[in-house]
């Protein structure tokens, strides 16, 4: 009983409406300096759930969805089906990758905001040198996310990494 109460409190502690937690998520990705839309950027939405263990803050992968921006820089990640049991499910996180730009990661609903629930603009900073690009491309893929759940994201990263002479990641399609 105590475990159920703790899990319920955990789910309520992330007081986010169902709509905010599960999508759909929409945004337009723009170049910070020029204000021009960025086509071909990949948005990866990730959901995690808290695992009831003695170790606090322990979470595991729940689901992921991807979308690629069109010529207008817009994307929409469809709504994730709501699970019947969602006490430990956490609000989504969105990571955006665009070739030649710094990665951008944010929670779906930052404190005091409605980001990604209503159409919003995500400004991305262009990287100026190959050294800056390599620095950002050294970031590891999100831990615990199966590669087959982020194929477009990995493909985009690999194209940029290959152009800079860096190693590539497996997309899970090679088997």
Residues of the chain with pLDDT under 50: 1-19, 110-111, 175
pLDDT for res 159: 93
Helices (H), 119-165: 130-137, 151-163
Which strands make up the sheet holding 93-97, listed edge to edge? 59-68, 42-50, 93-97, 104-107
116-147 pLDDT tens trace: 665 688 899 999 999 999 888 888 788 889 99
Q: What is the pLDDT of residue 79?
A: 81
CATH fold group of domain 2-163: Immunoglobulin-like (2.60.40)
């Amino acid at each position: 009983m105590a475990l159920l109460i703790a899990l319920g409190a955990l789910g309520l502690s992330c007081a986010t409406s169902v709509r905010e937690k599960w999508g759909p998520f929409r945004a337009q990705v723009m170049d910070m300096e020029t204000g021009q839309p960025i086509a071909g950027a990949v948005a990866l939405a990730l959901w995690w759930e808290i695992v009831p263990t003695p170790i606090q803050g322990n979470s595991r992968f729940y689901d992921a969805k991807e979308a690629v921006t069109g010529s207008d820089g817009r994307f929409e990640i469809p709504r994730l089906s709501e699970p019947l049991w969602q006490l430990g499910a956490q609000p989504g996180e969105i990571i955006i990758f665009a070739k030649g730009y710094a990665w951008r990661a944010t929670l779906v609903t930052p404190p005091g905001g409605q980001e990604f629930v209503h159409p919003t603009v995500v400004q991305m900073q262009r990287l100026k040198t190959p050294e800056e690009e390599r620095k950002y491309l050294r970031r590891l893929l999100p831990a615990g996310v199966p590669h087959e759940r982020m194929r477009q994201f990995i493909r985009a990263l690999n194209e940029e990494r290959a152009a800079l002479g860096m190693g590539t990641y497996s997309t899970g399609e090679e088997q």
